[in-house]
Each structure stands twice: as C-alpha cells, then as structure tokens.
Amino acid sequence: MKIILAIVFLLLFINKNFGQSSYCSFSGNVYEADTKKELGLGYVIVESLNIIKSINEDGFFKIDSIPIGKYKIKIRNLGYLEILDTLIFYKDKNNYHKDYYVLFPVINYEVKKLKEYEIYHDNLRKSADDKSIINFIIDDFEYEKGTIHFYPKFVNNTEWPVYILEEKECINPLVISVFNSNNEKIQRNVISLECDTRMFYNPDTSDLIKIEPNSTYDYKKSEVELYDFSRMPKDEYTIEIFYEFYKPMLLRIYRTDDIEKYSSEIKAARIGLRGKYQANKKIVFKN
C-alpha cells in the first residue's frame, strides 16, 4: 500500500526596517497536511551562505541577518523528500510570503515477512530483588552492507534501553517515537549514532566488547533510554525506531496490571534498504 504524506509549509518573511537595511530575517512554520499538526525536528539550509537552522519541536524556525539577494534553500525532514527552492529578497518589498510546500515520503514499500516464532522465558535470571532480567539478542540473518540489528535489553522489566548496532555504514539521524494505544505520540527523540566504535556481541556473557580496528567486525553502538514503563498507565505502547531510507522497526510493549510483569512483541530483525524487502521476526515473551 502506498502512502502519500504532504506537508503544508508556511514561510513568513519578517523585516521591520527592510527598506533601510541590506539584511533581512525570515521565519516559518512546518505543518503536516493530513493532521494539520506541526512537523518539527527537521532543518533548513541556505546553500550559498552555508547556514543551517533547525526546525524545533513545534515546527518553527528562524534565520536572521540574510543579505539582500537570491538564494537556494533546502528543507529537510526525516522520512520525507527534500525540497529545493529559490528565494529572492528585494529592497523595496517589506514582506515575502510563501504559502505551501508539499513533501512526499522517502519510501513507498511493501513488506515481505519471512518467519515468526515464539521464545519463552527459559533464560531468566533473578536479581537480588527477585525481578526478572532478560538479555536477548535478535541476530540470525546473514549480514549485508547497511543491515541494522536490533538489540533489546530488558532490565528489571521497568526501563527499556534499546541497543542498535549497524554494520559498515553510519546512518544519521535516528528517530525514536513512543505511541500509546490511541496512536498519540508521547515521546519523540532524535539522536546521532557513534560512527567509529567497533563492537562484538559475546553470546556467552551477553556483553558488547570493543575490538581492534583491523577486525572484520565493524559496528556502531547507540543506547537510547526510553520511558520507565512501570510508571505508565496500563495500556499498549508502540516504540517506533526509524532511519531515513529504511523500513521502521516497531517494538510493542503491553503494560499489565502487575507492575513487574510485561508481555512484549518485538517485530523486526532486519531493515532492508530502499527498494529491498524487510525481513521480519516476531518474538513473543510469555510469563
């Protein structure tokens, strides 16, 4: 199924003393057309001036002290095609108004599911306070350039750090979003991966070990601290892990009546590059 997303981009140029100055400033707000909500955490580039400004969480940006002239700007947001536009600033014009930009998603893809199976709590270990600790690695697919591996680590069933290791290439940025059962976004983080750390997973000790640069293993490691779900209301939560040009990963967490126990469904073992299929693997943890 193809999904087309549009962004309504409102760009308002403001300069109170435009006729008396060789410089101007402009600001704008980025909106998502379907939801009419602000679309933040992207950035705007003024090419010839090498200016890069972030779009904040509310979809707002502002660039100051732009000389009068003609410029190319780029508007980028994770998951959407880049916009390239030409803007001209005139001395005799007090305001410049650009109503709409339309952005389309980077990917239209179909998902091919390879297999799914169940794993039970056979490898449970108990901590001093008798809370369950699970360390489990999803990694039974052959490597290929650009493959991303998802390492969930469940500690005391309360905090859920997410380990993501990427082979050969570093892809930035990474977006982590958390949704409740009403599909309301309750958290969104944008992070960058370390691009020079070489790691190896030791299945005997469940450790990630830094190794020598001449090794054939080349991984980048990122740890993302998510919500403490023990403090959240009973509900079903979906964690979306998204890279540009890649199929999103989904991690679903079901908050139960028992504050120390969760059942979880983890979807995604590999994310294929654009134009390739996604290999899915579902792990169901049962108490």
In a domain, 106, yes or no: no
Residue 83: the pLDDT is 72
Residue 149: the pLDDT is 35
Q: Are residues 161 and 262 in the same domain?
A: yes
Q: Which residue has the tokens 């600033």?
A: 89
The CATH number of the domain holding residue 20 is 2.60.40.10
Of 98, 133, 154, which residue sits at a domain end? 98
Question: Same domain for 90 and 136?
Answer: no
pTM check: above 0.85: no
Is-contact 78 175, C-beta < 8 A? yes
pLDDT value of residue 63? 79
66, 98, 130 - which closes a domain: 98
Q: Do 89 and 131 lie in a common domain?
A: no
Q: Is the same domain home to 126 and 206?
A: yes
Inside any domain, residue 108 = no
pLDDT on residue 258: 39
Please indicate, yes or no, if residue 179 is contained in any of the structural domains. Answer: yes
Residues 156, 82 share a domain? no
- What separation in angstroms does the CA of 182 have from each of 57, 178, 186, 252? 21, 11, 11, 14
- Residue 149 near residue 269 (C-beta atoms within 8 A): yes
The encoded tokens of residue 117 equal 């199976």
Query: Are 257 and 125 members of one domain?
Result: yes
Domain co-membership, 170 together with 267: yes
265 and 226 in a common domain: yes
111 domain residue, yes or no = no
Co-location of 125 and 250 in the same domain: yes
2 in a structural domain: no
Distance CA 68, CA 71 (A): 9
Q: Are residues 143 and 270 in the same domain?
A: yes
Residues of the chain with pLDDT under 70: 1-21, 32-37, 78-81, 90-178, 187-287
Residue 170's pLDDT is: 43
| Residue-level pLDDT at 205 | 52
Residues 127, 248 within the same domain: yes
Check residue 91 and give its pLDDT: 67
pLDDT at 200: 43
> Which residue segment(s) compose the domain that 50 sits in?
7-98
- 168: in domain: yes
pLDDT at position 65: 78
* Residue 113 in domain: no
Residue 59, in any domain of the structure = yes
Looking at residue 283, what is its pLDDT? Answer: 32
pLDDT of residue 278: 29
Residues 146 and 93 in one domain: no
- Given 98, 132, 155, the domain boundary residue is 98
Into how many domains does the chain fold?
Answer: 2
